[in-house]
Amino acid sequence: MMPDNFFFPNESELLWSVLIVLYPFLSGFVGGAFIIASMENIFRIESTKSTYRLALHVTLSILLIATLPLLLHLGHPERSYEIFITPNPNSAMAMFGYVYVWYLMAVIVTAIWFDYHSDMVLWARESTGWRRTFYRIATLGVDHLNERTREIDAKFGRIITGIGIPSAMILPGYVGFIFGSMKANPWWSSVLMPVIFIFSALVSGNALVMLIDVILAKLRHREINLAGLATKARFLLYIFALDFALEVLDLAHRLYEGEESIGILRNLMNGPLFISLFFTQFFIGTMVPIALIGITQMKKIKENPVLHLRMIVVSAALSIVGILAMRWNVVIGGQMFSKSLRGFRHLDFDLLGREGVLMAVLILCVPIVIFYVITRLLPTREDKRHDVNAGS
């Protein structure tokens, strides 16, 4: 770190770096992907049925390591259990541990269990070796299966999904709450910050599920569910438009309010954050995907499936880039100006080390491995579903 002029001695280094950018980025995927899963199970949108299991798997894969960037940043991750045995209700960060465990075990794992219960009973009968042992343990040794069992699983699955919707909102909203509550930092302090984080999470989670659905279809040489993608693309368009409107409203309110910090914030946006904020986040990551999705609603585009698919995929990919830029601008941007409101400091990337770029890349690869393992044990494809009546 190389500080510029007018800096206090304790401000020479940025305390939060790439890993803390990654933390809210991953948390957003978790919340948004689960909302996509609820589209079929709760809102009965049939065209998205094929991605219900996929969305659950994506959620679980990322959720298992969502706190890893934060733990690596803090150091001594082996001590993280202490927040559970010494609860502090006055600390939002401490209470998040309970929210995280609730969302992981009571919502995601339970939702997957009810959805796969009938299949796992049959797989336990058909499999051998360690797979059979795994399925028997997962089904708690239950071997009885009939239509009534399937109805109960479906009913409780919908209940858990319904409970999970507000839980999915809390997860990214909590991160926005942490930033928005920091009154001493004018770049972060905003009552809209939690809401912006929630809507941006819906954008990134939706876009990620869309991309993974297309990638898996290509790898498995199966037909792409273009109707389902189009439905999710429309949802992405509406949510992204609301997210963009909230961010513009937040920015306009700051400018109109004109507090003493407005000068340094203007210089921040026109200086160190100009490329990442206006070009990457607002133009490449927001305006372009919104425009592309809007164009896909035209009849001529819909009549060309190849072009329709390509535009949806590009818009989803750019949406994720925009949300990553947004997380970067929030986390890093809020640390770039001095408390004196008269100077900036520069961020120097570290390639290696505990908080280096390479570590961030490795962390992003871990969910891919977890997703592969989960999908091998619990297939997402609809043709792997067993007919319960046939196995009764």
Q: Are 355 and 72 in contact (CB under 8 A)?
A: yes
**3-class DSSP assignment, residue 144:** coil
Burial 146-172 (b: 16+ CB within 10 A, else e): eeebeeebeebbbebbeebbebbbbbb
Provide the CA 13 distance to its chain's centre, in angstroms. 28
CA distance 57 to 357: 26
The pLDDT of residue 290 is 94
- Residue 201 contacts by C-beta under 8 Å, 6 or more apart in sequence? 27, 28, 29, 30, 31, 32, 171, 172
Average pLDDT over residues 68-74: 87
Say what the pTM is: 0.87
Q: What's the one-letter identity of residue 160?
A: I
Average pLDDT over residues 302-330: 92
CA distance 66 to 179: 18
Q: Are 298 and 308 in contact (CB under 8 A)?
A: no
Residue 309 φ/ψ region, left for φ over 0, alpha for ψ in the -120 to 50 degree band, beta for the rest:
alpha
Domain boundaries, the chain: 1-14+224-347, 18-181+349-392
Average pLDDT over residues 153-168: 85
Q: Which of 86-100, 194-208, 292-306 has the highest mean pLDDT?
A: 194-208
DSSP 104: I
Closest CA relative to residue 25, chosen from 373, 344, 379, 331: 331
- Which single residue is written with the structure tokens 């909590």? 174
Closest CA relative to residue 167, chosen from 30, 262, 328, 289: 30
Query: Residues 332-371: pLDDT tens digits?
Result: 888 877 776 777 777 777 777 777 888 899 999 999 999 9
Instruction: Give the pLDDT band of residue 210 (cuts 50, 70, 90).
Output: very high
In Å, what is the CA distance from 265 to each residue of 21, 260, 269, 338? 20, 10, 6, 11
- Residue 274 contacts by C-beta under 8 Å, 6 or more apart in sequence? none
The pLDDT of residue 99 is 83
CA distance 225 to 293: 17
The pLDDT of residue 258 is 65
Average pLDDT over residues 292-318: 90
Helix (H) or strand (E) segment spanning residue 346: strand 345-346
Average pLDDT over residues 160-188: 83
The pLDDT of residue 242 is 92
Q: Are 16 and 319 in contact (CB under 8 A)?
A: no
CA distance 276 to 269: 9
Q: Are 48 and 365 in contact (CB under 8 A)?
A: no
